[in-house]
Amino acid sequence: MPRARKTVAAVSLLAVGAAAPAARTADPYAAPAPVPALSSTTLDTRYQAADRDIGRALATAEHLHDEDRTQALQAFLTPGRRFLAFDPRGKGRTVEVIGDLEHADRIAVLVPGADNKLTNYDSPKFVGGDSRALYREAHAGARLAVIAWLGYDSPSMLSTAALTDDNAEDGARSLQRLLTGVHHVNGHARFALLCHSYGSVVCAKAARRVAALPVDDIALFGSPGTTVDKAADLGTSARVWAARAKGDWMRFVPNLRFGGLGFGADPASPAFGALRFDAGSGPHSAYLKPGSLALRNLTKIALGHPAEVTRA
């Protein structure tokens, strides 16, 4: 796309996002109950507390005839699902564990981008569906646990929040708390952060904060930028991976940063200095689609098998 058209697209998004916000109303959903800090001795307590909070939110959703929430929360309470945290307020936040967190050798944390919320969480194109696809791809004997982390206010794509790093700063602090707590649960596991779209901005902001933790890999895919010019500027000793699928519309977004808007250099460009992996030809929301090349490569990154990753 010519540069002029790219600029028009960016300005159009700003215009849509700058529309007057709707008046705020009181949130009908209650705040989660206080929980102890995450550790090996409090893990079961955290799972139980999240279940209770989900149950209370489900009762509220049913009372309000909130059908989308009711359907989503009923699925959350399916036997065998485990959540470290849950907050139904606003669009919602939740942190789900898939696999054996206490005994895993590797822990992959999926950090989602814009438009993720409780009501689409389990969709194949959003963080809950993606996390299960990754876990299945790795197979049961891999000693991998996956955390589906909707632990920040994922911005709406059609808002100015999706063009600034404000939500990402809050997300980075929350992600640091999560990784610190999980490290207290399992002190020998190594981490991989898999960061999609706006989630790559969150991971970039968190990279220096979690540098003292055993984070071996940070993968940035479908990224609009990270607010830094080079991988070396992230302040991490982890392997930094980057990719953009050939069918991803993100290739049309200009890599600019001006006046606090935009995110700068493209992590998938050679000049950024990341390890570039092949993400295939799929669209923006299909990096973890079962059977895809992107999913296979992201799974190898999650497992800590860099030599098996197909490079771009």
Query: Which pLDDT score is estimated for 24?
Result: 58
What DSSP character marks residue 161?
A: G
Is 195 within 8 Å of 45 (Cβ atoms)?
A: no
Work out the angle between the directed axes of helices 166-185 and 198-207 (0-180°, nearest 10).
60
25 exposure class (CB count in 10 Å sphere: 0-12, 13-18, 19+): exposed
pLDDT recorded at residue 19: 37
Which of residues 26 and 294 earns the better pLDDT score? 294
Q: What is the pLDDT of residues 89-148, one digit of tens each?
A: 999 999 999 999 999 999 999 999 999 999 999 999 999 999 999 999 998 778 999 999
Residues 6+ apart with CB under 8 A from 35: 42, 45, 46, 49, 85
Query: According to the model, what pLDDT value does residue 13 have?
Result: 37
pLDDT of residue 141: 77
Per-residue pLDDT of 255-300, as tens digits, reads 999 999 999 999 999 999 999 999 999 999 999 999 999 999 999 9
Query: Tens digit of pLDDT for each residue in 201-258?
Result: 999 999 999 999 999 999 999 999 999 999 999 999 999 999 999 999 999 999 999 9
What ranges do the domains of the chain cover?
A: 3-14+82-308
Class of domain 3-14+82-308: alpha beta
pLDDT reading at 9 higher than 80: no
Mean pLDDT (whole number) for 21-41 = 86
Of all residues in the chain, the percent with pLDDT exceeding 70 is 92
H or E element in which residue 218 lies: strand 215-221
Helix/strand/coil for 240: strand
116 is written with which tokens? 């993720």
